[in-house]
Structure 1
Amino acid sequence: MKEVTFTLAEYNLAACSNVDITTVRLTSKPVLLLLHGWQDNAATFASLWPLLTKDYDVIALDWPGHGKSDYKSADNYYHFVDYIDDLHQVITQLKCEKVHIVGHSLGAIVAGCYAAVFPEYVDKIILIEGLSPLTEPPQMAVERLRMGIVSRQRYRQQQLRLKQRSMATFAEALTLRVAVNRLPASLLEAVVTRATIERDGRWYWRHDPRLRCDSLYRMAQQHAQALLSSIQAPVLSIIGDHGYSSLHNSDGRGWDINDFTQVVVSGGHHCHLQSSKGVYRHIRTFIPTRFD
Structure 2
Amino acid sequence: MNWEEIKIKVPWGFVAAKSWGDSNNFPIILIHGLNDNAGSFDTLIPLLPQRFNYICIDLPGHGLSSHFPRTLPIEYTHLLMTLQIILDELKQDKYILIGHGISATLLPLYAQLKPEKVVKIVLIDSTYTFVNPPGTYLTRIEEANALLMKYINFKPENRKSYTYKEAVKKVIRRRPLGVLNYKCGEQLVRRMVEKVGEKKYMFTTDGRYKALVQPSLSFNYVTELLEKKPLKCDILVLYTSYTLDISTKIFKYMIPYLDLFKEHRIIIDGDHHIHHTQPEKVSNHIEKFLLN
Same-fold call, TM cutoff 0.5: yes
1:192 has 2:195 as partner: no
Q: Which residue of 1 aligns with 2:267?
A: 264
Q: Which residue of 2 aligns with 1:15?
A: 17
Tell me, yes or no, if the aligned pair for 1:148 and 1:216 is still in contact at 8 Å.
no
Structure 1 stretches lacking a partner, 5+ long: none
**CA distance in structure 2 between the aligned counterparts of 1:276 and 1:13, rounded to whole angstroms:** 25
**CA distance in structure 1 between the aligned counterparts of 2:244 and 2:194, rounded to whole angstroms:** 31
Greater Cα offset, 223-232 or 191-200? 223-232
After superposition, where does 1:1-292 map in structure 2 within 5 Å? 1-19=3-21, 24=23, 27=24, 29-52=25-48, 54-156=50-152, 159-160=154-155, 164-181=158-175, 182-201=179-198, 202-215=200-213, 217-229=215-227, 230-245=230-245, 246=247, 249=255, 254-255=259-260, 257=261, 260-288=263-291
Structure 2: which amino acid aligns with 1:11? G
**CA distance in structure 1 between the aligned counterparts of 2:181 and 2:138, rounded to whole angstroms:** 40
1:241, CA displacement in angstroms? Answer: 2.1
User: TM-score of the superposition, structure 2-length normalised?
Assistant: 0.85
User: TM-score of the superposition, structure 1-length normalised?
Assistant: 0.85
Greater Cα offset, 48-57 or 195-204? 48-57
Structure 2: which amino acid aligns with 1:225? T
**CA distance in structure 1 between the aligned counterparts of 2:144 and 2:163, rounded to whole angstroms:** 33
Tell me, yes or no, if the aligned pair for 2:237 and 2:264 is still in contact at 8 Å.
yes
**CA distance in structure 2 between the aligned counterparts of 1:117 and 1:106, rounded to whole angstroms:** 18
The alignment partner of 1:85 has SS state of helix
Tell me, yes or no, if the aligned pair for 1:177 and 1:188 is still in contact at 8 Å.
yes
Q: Name the Cα RMSD after superposition.
A: 2.5
Structure 1: which amino acid aligns with 2:281? G
How many percent identity over aligned positions? 23
Residue 94 to residue 125, structure 1, CA distance change in 2 (3 Å): same
Residue 142 to residue 73, structure 1, CA distance change in 2 (3 Å): closer
**CA distance in structure 1 between the aligned counterparts of 2:9 and 2:94, rounded to whole angstroms:** 20
Structure 2: which amino acid aligns with 1:206? T
**CA distance in structure 2 between the aligned counterparts of 1:214 and 1:154, rounded to whole angstroms:** 15
Q: 1:171-203, CA deviations, whole angstroms, 9 ceiling, x for partnerless residues? A: 000111111223211222101111112122220
